[in-house]
Amino acid sequence: MADKRGSRVADRTDAIMRTTLELGQEVGYAKLSIEAVAARAGAGKHTIYRRWPSKGALFLDSLLSLNEPELNYPDTGDIEADLREQIHAAVDLLSKPPLGPLYQAVLVEAQQDPQVAEALNERFIGPQEEKTIARLRKARDQGQLSSDFDLSLAMALLSGPFYFQVLIARQPLTREYVDRVIEAVFAGIGPKAPPTAGG
């Protein structure tokens, strides 16, 4: 954590994580082996096992070590536009090479390894959710969202459809598709009240 950089320990940790990402991109997570990471990193297997309990943990750490350009919410005052921008950025980052396949692999691994799932939530999903909710709360207070809107549903409603599209339907996510979904989520799928004089 607070390793003095330059220390032996931190050096090895970095080298191993870098190699993990490299190999991960080359052969995919499924075919990634600790054996191979150790060999290419010029590290002993034990040095890896000393730090990470499983391939999944190593891989997650490696990914998070990238400190990917923080997905920070813009705030232009227009919540729908801001959401669009934010989600476009997230989709670009997380569903496309080079990071996309790796991120999806982490999601997969999280299904099988509770430790990975927990770490993923604590270190990535959770923080993203906090930011999202903060931005949405402000928008709701400004009357840009329905006052009924339960913020705890935000991630499910706004991210769920995209995860579905990628993970389940396995369709590419175009910007146009993203925009249509956002629009539908804002408008709701229920019948529209006829336009009023004041609308």
Partner DNA sequence: TCCTAAACGAGACGGTACGTCATGTCTTGTC
Partner DNA sequence: GACAAGACATGACGTACCGTCTCGTTTAGGA
Q: Is 26 in the site for DNA (CB under 7 A)?
A: no
> What mask, x for binding a second copy by CB under 8 A, covers residues 2 to 41?
--------------------------xxx-----------
Interacting span for DNA (CB under 7 A) from 30-38, 80-88, 122-130, 145-153: 30-38
Q: Is 54 in the site for DNA (CB under 7 A)?
A: yes
CA distance 124 to 64: 8
Structural contact between residues 19 and 34, judged by C-beta atoms closer than 8 angstroms: no
CA distance 64 to 39: 22
Q: Is 28 in the site for DNA (CB under 7 A)?
A: no
**What is Dmax (Cα atoms) for the chain?**
74
Structural contact between residues 77 and 85, judged by C-beta atoms closer than 8 angstroms: no
6 CB neighbour count, 10 Å cutoff: 7
Q: Is 42 in the site for DNA (CB under 7 A)?
A: yes
* Nearest one of 69, 72, 64 to 102, comparing CA atoms: 64
Kindly tell me which residue out of 156, 172, 174, 175 binds a second copy, with binding defined by CB under 8 A.
156
Q: Is 47 in the site for DNA (CB under 7 A)?
A: yes
Q: Is 65 in the site for a second copy (CB under 8 A)?
A: no
Kindly tell me which of 55 and 135 has the beta carbon lying closer to DNA. 55
Q: Is 164 in the site for a second copy (CB under 8 A)?
A: yes
Question: Residue 74 corresponds to which amino acid?
Answer: P
The torsion angles phi and psi of 174, rounded to 5 degrees, stand at -85, 160
CA distance 131 to 42: 39
CB of residue 198 vs a second copy: minimum separation in angstroms? 6
Residue ranges that bind a second copy, judged by CB under 8 A: 28-30, 80, 104-105, 107-108, 110-112, 117, 121, 125, 143-150, 153, 155-157, 159-165, 167-170, 180-181, 184-199
Residue ranges that bind DNA, judged by CB under 7 A: 7-9, 11-13, 31, 33-36, 38, 41-47, 49-51, 54-55
